[in-house]
């Protein structure tokens, strides 16, 4: 898999699937315009949650989200908005556009995050949109309870770093490839292996915890 995003702590379900206004320049705004909707009639993501075309384009499109894969700006601050660097091209794209390119190339993707991934309201689109973008796993230091189970229900693997481990400690930059090797029986909360291959070909292997927590969730997944 390729890395779609490197996030910090407390990424909320509103960061993942915003409910607010739709920017004209965003993938969702462009799609609405192409379908004859005037900007004055865009309304909000929340009002269009019945439309998967809008909602999948809105996934990770919050104007305040920071993908730490992107290099710092000249003043040292981090660029905001749902952008990523497609690999190995290095092209800077909206996450939706990069996701569609990866899917066309047959490349699965993963997301890395810090503590409390998925806090906030239990917004179902936060997990649905993640799945529709082709993201196969989220590796975080901890998960909010409901979002974790929503990810499992949508077929996205939640993986938790062991205490003391993080993507920062691994020195991830975003240009690595990632292999996820869970226990073949998907035993609840069993160890899984994460194999990271850096751009220079060096490999690093890490043990993480499979956050499929119950036998019922194994069946769902």
Condensed to tens digits (0 to 9), the pLDDT of residues 184-196 reads 999 999 999 999 9
pTM for this predicted structure: 0.95
Cα separation, 38 vs 150, in Å, equals 34
**Predicted pLDDT of residue 31:** 97
What's residue 213's pLDDT?
A: 97
d(CA 15, CA 45): 12
Handedness of CA 98, 103, 104, 105 (dihedral sign): positive
- Structure confidence by residue, pLDDT tens digits, 141-165: 999 999 999 999 999 999 999 999 9
For residue 121, what pLDDT is reported? 86
The parts of the chain modelled with pLDDT lower than 50 are none
Q: What pLDDT, on a 0 to 100 scale, did the predictor assign at position 212?
A: 97
Beta bridge partners of 203: 197
Q: Which long-range contacts (CB under 8 A, 24 or more apart) does 27-33 make?
A: 27/57, 27/58, 27/61, 27/94, 27/96, 27/97, 28/54, 28/55, 28/57, 28/58, 28/61, 28/96, 31/57
């Amino acid at each position: 898999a390729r890395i779609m995003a490197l996030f910090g702590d407390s990424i909320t379900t509103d960061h993942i699937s915003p409910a607010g206004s739709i920017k004209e320049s965003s993938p969702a705004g462009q799609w609405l315009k192409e379908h004859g909707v005037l900007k004055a009639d865009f309304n909000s993501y929340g009002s269009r949650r019945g439309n998967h075309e809008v909602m999948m384009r809105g996934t990770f499109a919050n104007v305040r989200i920071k993908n730490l894969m992107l290099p710092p700006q000249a003043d040292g601050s981090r660029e905001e908005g749902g952008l990523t660097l497609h690999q190995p091209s290095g092209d800077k794209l909206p996450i939706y556009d990069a996701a569609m390119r990866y899917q066309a190339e047959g490349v699965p993707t993963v997301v890395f995050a810090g503590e409390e991934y998925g806090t906030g309201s239990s917004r179902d689109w936060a997990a649905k949109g993640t799945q529709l973008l082709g993201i196969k796993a989220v590796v975080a230091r901890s998960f909010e309870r409901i979002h974790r189970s929503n990810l499992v229900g949508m077929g996205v693997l939640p993986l938790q770093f062991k205490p003391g481990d993080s993507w920062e400690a691994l020195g991830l930059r975003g240009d690595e490839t990632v292999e996820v090797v869970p226990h073949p029986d998907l035993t609840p909360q069993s160890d899984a292996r994460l194999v990271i291959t850096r751009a220079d070909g060096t490999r690093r292997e890490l043990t993480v915890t499979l956050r499929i927590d119950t036998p019922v969730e194994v069946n769902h997944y």
